[in-house]
Structure 1
Amino acid sequence: MKFGISSVLIVAAAPCLAETSAGFVRLRDTSVEERPLSLSIWYPSADQASGTVGGNPVFEGALAAPDAAFPDGALPLVVVSHGGLRSAAESGAWLSSSIARAGYVVVEVNAPRPDNAALALDEIWRRPQDIRRAIDLVLADETWGPRLDGSRVSVAGFALGATAALSVAGADMDAARYLRSCSADRATEEPDCGWYDAQGVDLSETSPEGLAGLARDPRVTSVIAVNPEYLSALGAVPAGVSALRMSLGNPDNASADGQIPQAVVIPGASIVDAFAICTDLGPAILLEEEGEASLCGESPEARRIIHQEISDAMISFLGGGAEQAGAD
């Protein structure tokens, strides 16, 4: 297994920051040649921030303390799969660092971003594989394995990442129903159907072997799903796995049988609030590049409040129902 520590990329050095922040390191796995993974690992730290991670000209990065000392004892693990098909690496840095400061080791999974709709088709089953692979890697790693409580493993995701998290937690996928998700009468329900259609790609071309290989990871004791996609094709999370479903904005009606009960709704939010806070120039850059300036939301202050609500709800769940599930 080829699994080494890559150099830590700090997007913007910030030597004068006085605020304490989560420790950070990046691990890279190239054991699967066609799908290398970069794992962003966050953990509690009393060190001062010396830079930011996950930032770019559009979005602010999260404060980080690279290579900070690790606290004593083994901590619970939270694996984060953030965003839809075209989300950038480390889009969830703002969330991962927040959860880590509450006493968890958080691993954000970053896989290669598909360049086109045809390549993106199989992300529905590849992302759950990525999550399982990330759990394998950190638990087996001689540095990180002893630092983790393998009896308390949670997964969290947004959008397609939430679908992947639910799959790993044991929510069975109805493949036939999934393959009809972009049919004419339902195409507006899922965010990527228009993109697939514009490039002449049909969900029926998804690998049947890949879909058939979706399976529960028995190590996962709890799951957090924020605005999951293709929810109507998923079954119930099995007994023994604690589940939190969150909606940014109005809850959808896709959970036809109530198999994943709605627990938290943030009414003033939308799925774009899963992105980081925009820089001052972010909206203008998005407009110049024919992007959506609406990705920046109402204001940095409003998004900061929503981020706090999201992380507070997740941390409360992880310290309550999720922790109890791991003890059962």
Structure 2
Amino acid sequence: MRLGLSLALFLAAAPCLAQPAAGVAHLSETTVAERPLSLSIWYPSEGEASETVGGNPVFEGVPAAPDARFPEGAFPLVVVSHGGLRSAADSGAWLSSAITRAGYVVVEVNAPRPENAAAALDEIWRRPQDIRRVIDLMLTDKAWGQRVDDRSISVAGFALGATAAFSVAGAELDVARYMGSCAADSEMENPDCGWYAKQGVDPSQTSQESLAQLVKDPRVKAVIGVNPEYLTALGAVPAEVSALRISLGDPDDASDNDQLAKDVVIPNASVFDAFAVCTDAGPDILQEEAGDPSLCGASSEARRAIQQKVSDALISFLAGVND
């Protein structure tokens, strides 16, 4: 992202902060030294917004009330893992905030971005580990352990984050199918094959030992995946876990699989609608930096409408799980 923009441009893109907003706190998980996790914890609050989360010159941030008073009681926990190997931190803030306003504690996981394609090969097994580490921390932390209901833990994810979420929920990965996903005769779409090829790496080089460590976390009671990657390499989610798949736009050929309990399709949408609403300057910045202006979608209004449908579907699903 361009760093030389004027302060005036950034402020013009920032949403109004003089309004009630979800509370937000930040925590670090450092048990794996080479992969520290930065966590944004959203929680119910009527505090006044005084900062934005997830904003930058291209994407709008979400109003938040940092360190607002936490209400009495323990709330269901939802862990959010955004997709994209090179996504910016807090890319899912729009969804985290929306879920929180429905009465949940939501933690968005921000892991270090892989520096190259070789490091990115590890993300398929590292991201599920990240989710488990976050659950461990939230349940054992002196303050947060008293604020979340350990009987109601859900995981939501976008793209690769959705794949990680399903993995944690118990959907087994067909390792051979995944490792051959960039082969010329592969029938499975891998969105990163071109990037891998340019740097001389291939999914077949992924550690089989690490992939073998992908196991179900019995604490997870529900899972939601938005446009999960490698879906045809994933097995069924166990019956004891409530599962929802949300497709932004036409679902792929895996839509006929009965591996998920429910399937919601948001028409006239694309995977890019999982990202925040763009600032007015966003498309021009992307164009200038040889990026893809289509990341911003047709319009801000259209993206907000799509994201409202995603939020409504996810919250309605969670409400049914927690009845």
Is the shorter-chain TM-score for this pair beyond 0.5, marking a shared fold? yes
* CA displacement at 1:12 relative to structure 2: 6.8
Corresponding residue for 1:105?
A: 105
Distance 2:255 2:232 in 1: 6
> What secondary structure sits across from 1:225 in the alignment?
strand
Q: Which amino acid aligns with 1:59?
A: F
Answering whether residue 153 of structure 2 is matched by residue 153 of structure 1, we say yes
* CA displacement at 1:88 relative to structure 2: 1.1
* 1:52–1:260 distance in 2 versus 1, CA, 3 Å: same
* CA displacement at 1:256 relative to structure 2: 6.1
Q: Which moved more, 1:181-190 or 1:209-218?
A: 181-190
> What secondary structure sits across from 2:52 in the alignment?
strand
Q: Which amino acid aligns with 1:192?
A: D
Corresponding residue for 2:264?
A: 264
* 1:176–1:256 distance in 2 versus 1, CA, 3 Å: farther
* 1:211–1:188 distance in 2 versus 1, CA, 3 Å: closer
Answering whether residue 294 of structure 2 is matched by residue 290 of structure 1, we say no
**Residues 188 and 230 in structure 2, CA contact (< 8 A), matched pair in contact too:** no
> What secondary structure sits across from 2:45 in the alignment?
coil
Corresponding residue for 1:126?
A: 126
Corresponding residue for 1:3?
A: none
CA deviation vs aligned residue, 1:221-266 (integer Å, no higher than 9, x gap): 0000110001111110001100000100001112564212551000
Q: Which amino acid aligns with 2:198?
A: A
> What secondary structure sits across from 1:23 in the alignment?
strand
- The structure 1 segments of at least 4 consecutive aligned residues displaced by more than 6 Å after TM superposition are 11-16
Q: Which moved more, 1:42-51 or 1:53-62?
A: 42-51
* CA displacement at 1:187 relative to structure 2: 7.1
Q: Which amino acid aligns with 2:265?
A: V
**Residues 12 and 53 in structure 1, CA contact (< 8 A), matched pair in contact too:** no
Q: Which moved more, 1:180-189 or 1:216-225?
A: 180-189
* 1:51–1:258 distance in 2 versus 1, CA, 3 Å: same
Distance 1:160 1:15 in 2: 29
Corresponding residue for 2:142?
A: 142
Corresponding residue for 1:252?
A: 252
Corresponding residue for 1:64?
A: 64
> How many equivalent pairs are there?
313
Q: Which amino acid aligns with 2:322?
A: E
Structure 1: 5+ residue runs without aligned partners? Answer: 1-10
Q: Which amino acid aligns with 1:250?
A: D
With structure 1 as the length reference, what TM-score do the two structures score? 0.92
Answering whether residue 322 of structure 2 is matched by residue 323 of structure 1, we say yes
Corresponding residue for 1:8?
A: none
> What secondary structure sits across from 2:57 in the alignment?
coil
Q: Which moved more, 1:139-148 or 1:178-187?
A: 178-187
Q: Which amino acid aligns with 2:296?
A: C
Q: Which amino acid aligns with 1:323?
A: N
CA deviation vs aligned residue, 1:73-117 (integer Å, no higher than 9, x gap): 100000000012111111001110110111000000010000111
**Residues 20 and 47 in structure 2, CA contact (< 8 A), matched pair in contact too:** yes
**Residues 187 and 194 in structure 1, CA contact (< 8 A), matched pair in contact too:** no
* 1:16–1:122 distance in 2 versus 1, CA, 3 Å: closer
* CA displacement at 1:37 relative to structure 2: 0.4
**Residues 181 and 188 in structure 2, CA contact (< 8 A), matched pair in contact too:** no
* CA displacement at 1:18 relative to structure 2: 2.7
Identity of aligned residues (%): 70
**Residues 77 and 153 in structure 1, CA contact (< 8 A), matched pair in contact too:** yes
Answering whether residue 171 of structure 2 is matched by residue 182 of structure 1, we say no
CA deviation vs aligned residue, 1:130-170 (integer Å, no higher than 9, x gap): 00000000110000000000000000000000000000000
* CA displacement at 1:48 relative to structure 2: 1.7
Distance 2:268 2:182 in 1: 28
Q: Which moved more, 1:22-31 or 1:252-261?
A: 252-261
* 1:262–1:323 distance in 2 versus 1, CA, 3 Å: closer
Superposed CA RMSD in Å reads 1.7
**Residues 242 and 261 in structure 2, CA contact (< 8 A), matched pair in contact too:** no
> What secondary structure sits across from 2:41 in the alignment?
strand
* 1:149–1:12 distance in 2 versus 1, CA, 3 Å: farther
Q: Which moved more, 1:249-258 or 1:163-172?
A: 249-258
* CA displacement at 1:196 relative to structure 2: 1.0
Equivalent residues in 2 for 1:305-324 (5 A)?
A: 305-320=305-320, 322-324=321-323
Q: Which moved more, 1:299-308 or 1:186-195?
A: 186-195
Q: Which amino acid aligns with 1:264?
A: V
Corresponding residue for 1:7?
A: none
Equivalent residues in 2 for 1:192-207 (5 A)?
A: 192-207=192-207
* CA displacement at 1:197 relative to structure 2: 1.4
Corresponding residue for 2:212?
A: 212
Q: Which moved more, 1:175-184 or 1:164-173?
A: 175-184
CA deviation vs aligned residue, 1:114-133 (integer Å, no higher than 9, x gap): 01110100100000000000
**Residues 171 and 238 in structure 1, CA contact (< 8 A), matched pair in contact too:** yes
